[in-house]
A = this chain, B = another copy of it.
Amino acid sequence: MNGPNGTNGRGSPTINDVARIAEVSKKTVSRVINKSPLLSEKTRKHVEGVIREIGYVPNLQARALALRRNFIVAAIHDNPNAQFLVKVQQGILSAIKDSEFGLMVQPVDRHSPTIVDDIRAFLERQRPYGVVLLPPISENDDIARLCEEHGCRFVRMGSVKLDSDDRAVASNDREAVRKAVTYLIDRGHTRIGLIEGPQGFTSPRERRAGFEEAMAAAGLSVDEELVSSGTYTFESGVSAGQQLIDLPNPPTAIFASNDEMAIGAMIAARRHGLLIPEDLSIIGFDDTPLSSHVWPALTTVHWPIVDMAHLAASKLVAPAGEEPDPRWLLPSELIERASVVAPKS
Residues of A bordering B, CB below 8 Å: 11-12, 57, 59-62, 64-65, 68, 70-72, 74, 82-83, 85-87, 89, 93, 100, 102-107, 121-122, 124-127, 234, 260, 263-264, 266-267, 270-271, 289-290, 292-295
Contacts and interface: CB of A to CB of B under 8 A. Distances in A.
Given A12-B124, A60-B126, A104 B72 contact: yes
18 contacts: A57-B125, A59-B65, A60-B125, A60-B127, A62-B65, A71-B125, A71-B126, A74-B102, A82-B82, A82-B289, A85-B86, A102-B106, A102-B122, A103-B104, A103-B105, A104-B105, A263-B293, A270-B295
Given A72-B102, A82-B87, 16 more contacts: A61-B64, A61-B127, A65-B65, A71-B125, A82-B85, A82-B86, A89-B105, A102-B106, A103-B104, A104-B105, A234-B289, A234-B293, A266-B295, A267-B295, A270-B295, A294-B294
Contacts of A59: 65
Contacts of A234: 289, 292-293
Nearest to A74: B102
Mostly, the A contact residues are helix
A269 to B, nearest CB: 10
Contacts of A71: 125-126
Given A125-B71, A293-B263, A295-B270, A107 B85 contact: no
Contacts of A70: 61
Contacts of A106: 102-103
A59 to B, nearest CB: 8
A289 B84 CA distance: 14
